[in-house]
Chains A and B, each alone.
Chain A
Amino acid sequence: MSKKKKQQALIRSVPFMLPSFVGMIIFSLLPIVISIFISLTDWNGLDKLNLNTLSQHFVGLENYINILTTSEFWKVLGHTLYYIVLYIPLVFLASLGIAVILNKNMKGITAFRVMYYIPVLTSWVAASLIWKWVLSPQYGIFNQLLSYIGVRGPSWLTSEVWAMPAIVLASVWKDMGFFGLFLLSGLKMIDTTYYEAARVDGAGKIRQFFSITLPLLTPSIFFCMIMSLINAFQLFPQVMIMTEGGPNGATQVMVERIYTYGFKYFKMGYASAYSWLLFVIIFVLTVIQMKGQKGWVHYES
């Protein structure tokens, strides 16, 4: 692109970029920059927040050093990664399945679309209460079903081994409709002429899926991967309501700790430093995904 063309593009983009850019500066970047400063202090989160307070409480990198040298950070990071490793493949498979089913032009498909989305519409407060009952070892329906196939279900939420898988299960249930809907809108964007051409070539349903659907869906899949990773690292409400980090800290995860330090123990500086360490981890993993996308994501046809 020539210099002139670049300039033209810049000028043309201004009216389109203005609202989000202004919003970003005020409502996102500014608070984030302030939180960097907070992470360098031992501010308690109750004294009035201004420059004066922050400079008085300045402690340099102490928070970061303290966090990285405690075993808690690594334990909590481990729990978070464990959640992610279980959650992402499951939610991805479930939502792809849902998207494929909902993409069929069958009678009553609208009803199914509404039903599959209901967990997304349910608040976490209601959803986790329900799951507590569903997973109750003695009275819950889940273990009842397991007993029909001869399996004795564990005491999910109170067992150190099974509490995290239980949270994964509830999260997948709640989120699959969300990503399913997104993948569905990706499916809808695939030009039907491809399938017609493939049918003329005599390709079967399964081959069509792998040679047309999946490749053309990769931009949507990529989006889901990035978003689910960012979200999964920040899982919070389900943990707070279902286990509060228990039993014996087995479900303590990053944001749960950040909230606890910032708003329960009045160590906002420490909590902010924790967040920035979390940021670095998510950022690095996202950059890796971004770099990797060139190998498998197909834009345009």
Chain B
Amino acid sequence: MKEMKQWKAMAAGTAMAAVLAAGTMTAAAEEEVTITYANFNASGGQEETLEAMYEAFHEEYPNITVEIETIGFDDYFTQMQTRVAGGTAPDCYELNIENFAAYANKGALAPLDDLDASGYNETALSAFNVDGTQYGVPGNFSNVVLIYNKDLFDQAGIDYPTDEWTWEDALSAAEAIRALDENTYGIYQPVTFNEFFKVAAQFGGSILNEDKTEFTINSEENVAAAEMMISKITDSNVQPNDEQMSGMGDWDLFQSGRLGMIPTGIWAFSTFAEGCDFEWDICVEPGQTQKATHFFSNALVVNADTEKKEAAQCWINWLASSETAAKMRIDAGWDLPAISNEEVLSSYLEMTPPQNRQAVFDSLDYLEVAPVIEDYALMSDIITGKLAEAASGKITPQEALDAAQSECEAQITLQ
């Protein structure tokens, strides 16, 4: 409750400042307008933060009223698709990266003309640009770092990971930790498309060719990447297989103190800070021929049919890039705003654990954008399915990627 008040006080203060400085941010229209905004990102605990952000916004733009709908993640996309098809979608809403391209390509989203894009992180912004048209702004931002259990590294008597590590370094450390105990494992990295496209990039490969006209799933680099991901389960077993995981989640395994390293999202910090009774820290993910790190961002978009486009764009732009919203987002420990102003982000660095929070920002230099295509979900499922078959030892990584390549070519037409 106390924190809540702090936000509000701070929000009011910064809002004043923003109004004074807002020469470029001309208020949308002067007449009173009410818009609807649907999101899933605030569900599960941040509804109040979003509400406080809106209050700050409304002070700045008193003529714009926003009706906020916060919906649980699980059925969000089913309901959104139904409302879009039924012609009653909200004026503006949130989409994850998997669904964004489909909505944009099918004409459900309004192009964001005259967007003041100066404050955004460029990589994140570019993820929502389809063939030169900006259809969404990055509403939030999370990336992936290597989180490691310091105690296990100490027990194994090996050095802590550094930002310069390659996969060879990571795997030999993993083996040393695996040797500690039958139920202790070196590393956990899910064998899924999401991990794969990034590791492929670390090995110099990619899922699509440069202009996204052809699949390059079974390239030599990609096969090397898949072999590394899978052999650490099937051969060296420094990563537990499904049976060894026994239905446990990867975070749970880390929190139980039996996992040395886990490349995972920075949204794990608050959970680990609360749940781990050992020392842990982070660094930039290991690379191979080059560094590449994951990032996740949800798009805030405007409904193509809305009559209140200006107000809707004003609200999502403010929510995604204003300093006020950015500060509130950081202070609430929600996730990061996708903005370029590192000064605003600095308060984020002061929170511990982890000690080496700087690694979060160092990782930004190597962001790898997901290969967004219209049939993203289908491509992702095909590749994940084949990789899982390889991980269960039924086929080799080479065979898996060959099969994925031909299945994607058969089922997906690239523009």
**A residues less than 8 Å from B86 (CB atoms):** 48-49
Check A155–B246 contact: CB distance below 8 A. Answer: yes
Complex Cα distance A155/B243, Å? 6
- B85 & A157 in contact (Cβ 8 Å cutoff): no
Interface residues on B, range: 20 to 34
Scan A259-274; emit 1 where CB is below 8 A from any B CB, else 0: 0100111100000000
Report if B247 contacts A (CB, 8 A): yes
Q: Which residues in chain B, 274-312, are within 8 Å of chain A measured between CB atoms? A: none
9 pairs of residues in contact across A and B, judged by CB atoms under 8 Å: A44-B106, A45-B81, A48-B84, A140-B247, A248-B392, A260-B381, A263-B81, A264-B77, A266-B81
When C-beta atoms are compared, the residue in chain B nearest to A160 turns out to be B392
A265–B107 CB distance below 8 A:
no
What residues on B are CB-neighbors of A263 within 8 Å?
77-78, 81
Residues in B whose Cβ lies below 8 Å from that of A186: none
B180 in the interface (beta carbon within 8 A): no
A47-B246 in contact (CB<8A): no
Residues of A within 8 A of B (CB): 44-49, 132-133, 135-140, 155, 157-159, 246-249, 260, 263-266
A137 and B389 within 8 A (CB): no
Determine whether the beta carbon of B77 is less than 8 Å from that of A136. no
Binding site for A on B (CB under 8 A): 77-78, 81, 84-87, 102-103, 106-108, 242-248, 375, 377-378, 381, 385, 388-389, 392, 394
Chain B residue, CB-CB nearest to A157: B247
Cα of A155 to Cα of B242 in the assembled complex, Å: 8
Give complex CA distance A2, B126 in Å: 77
Distance in Å: Cβ of A163 to nearest Cβ of chain B: 11
Q: Indicate if the CB atoms of A158 and B242 lie closer than 8 Å.
A: yes
Query: Residue A48 contacts which of B85, B247, B378 (CB distance < 8 angstroms)?
Result: B85
**Chain B residues whose CB sits within 8 angstroms of the CB of A265 once the complex forms:** 375, 377-378
Which of B78, B246, B388 touches A248 (beta carbons < 8 Å)?
Answer: B388
Q: A47-B85, A266-B375 are in contact. List 15 more A-B contacts (CB 8 A).
A: A44-B106, A46-B106, A48-B85, A48-B86, A49-B87, A137-B243, A137-B247, A139-B247, A247-B242, A248-B388, A249-B385, A263-B78, A264-B381, A265-B375, A266-B106
Hey, which chain B residues are within 8 Å of A44, CB to CB? 102, 106
By the criterion CB–CB under 8 Å, are B247 and A133 in contact? yes
Minimum-distance CB pairs A-B, first 6: A158-B242, A136-B247, A138-B246, A155-B243, A46-B106, A265-B378
Tell me whether B107 and A47 are in contact (CB under 8 A). Answer: yes
Interchain CA distance A135-B103 in the complex, whole Å: 39
Residue of B nearest to A136 (CB): B247
Complex alpha-carbon distance, A257 and B147, angstroms: 36
Measured between alpha carbons, how far is A264 from B388 in the docked complex, in Å? Answer: 20
Q: Assess whether A248 is in contact with B377, with CB atoms less than 8 Å apart.
A: no
Interfacial chain B residues near A266, Cβ < 8 Å? 81, 102, 106, 375
* Distance to closest chain B CB from A70 (angstroms): 10
B247 → chain A closest CB, angstroms? 4
- B184 to chain A minimum Cβ distance, whole angstroms, is 14
Interface centre among A133, A140, A248 (most CB of B within 10 A): A248
Taking CB atoms, residues of chain A closer than 8 Å to B392 are 247-248
* Inter-chain contact A46/B246, CB cutoff 8 Å: no
List the B side residues contacting A46 at CB < 8 Å: 81, 84-85, 102-103, 106, 108
B85 in contact with A246 (CB, 8 Å): no
Query: Which B residue sits closest to A131, measured CB to CB?
Result: B247
**Chain A: which residue is nearest B98 at the CB level?**
A264
A265 to B101, CA, bound (A): 12
Q: Which of A49, A135, A136 contacts B248 (CB 8 A)?
A: A136
CA distance A246 to B103 in the complex (A): 27
Contact B247 A135 (CB under 8 A): yes
* Contacting pair A48 B87 (CB below 8 A): yes
With both chains docked as a complex, state the minimum distance between the C-beta of A150 and any C-beta of chain B, in angstroms: 20
Inter-chain CA distance A157–B87, complex, in Å, is 40
Counting chain B CB atoms within 10 Å of each CB, the highest count among A133, A139, A140, A263 belongs to A263
The answer for the CA separation of A264 and B378 in the assembled complex, in Å, is 8
Judge whether B388 and A136 touch: CB under 8 Å.
no
* A247-B388, A265-B375 known; A158+B103 contact, CB < 8 A: no
> How far is it, in angstroms, between the C-alpha of A139 and the C-alpha of B244 when the chains are bound?
11
B87 touches A139 (CB 8 A): no
Contacting pair A47 B106 (CB below 8 A): yes
Min CB gap B4→A, angstroms: 30
Residues of B within 8 A of A159 (CB): 243
Residues of B within 8 A of A47 (CB): 85, 106-107
Which chain A residue has the least Cβ–Cβ distance from B86?
A49
Residues of A close to B108: CB separation below 8 A:
46
Contact call B378/A45, Cβ cutoff below 8 A: no
User: B102 contacts which chain A residues (CB < 8 A)?
Assistant: 44, 46, 266
Query: In the assembly, what is the distance between CA of A133 and CA of B245, in Å?
Result: 12
Closest to A46 in B: B106
Cβ contacts under 8 Å, B394 to chain A:
248
Q: Contacts of A136 on B, CB cut-off 8 Å?
A: 246-248
Residues of B within 8 A of A248 (CB): 385, 388-389, 392, 394
> Inside 8 A of A132's CB, which chain B residues have their CB?
247
Inter-chain contacts of A157 with B (CB < 8 A) = 247
**Which chain B residues lie closer than 8 Å to A48 at the CB level?**
84-87
Chain B residues whose CB sits within 8 angstroms of the CB of A249 once the complex forms: 385
A246-B388 contact given A46-B85, A47-B107, A265-B375, CB 8 Å threshold: yes
Docked complex Cα distance between A246 and B378 (Å): 15
Report the bound CA distance from A263 to B85 in whole Å.
11
Q: Which residues of A contact B81 (CB under 8 A)?
A: 45-46, 263, 266
- The answer for the CA separation of A158 and B244 in the assembled complex, in Å, is 10
Smallest CB separation, B188 vs chain A (Å): 15
- Best-surrounded residue of B243, B247, B375, B385 (most CB of chain A within 10 A): B247
Q: How far is the CA of A264 from the CA of B394 in the complex (A)?
A: 27
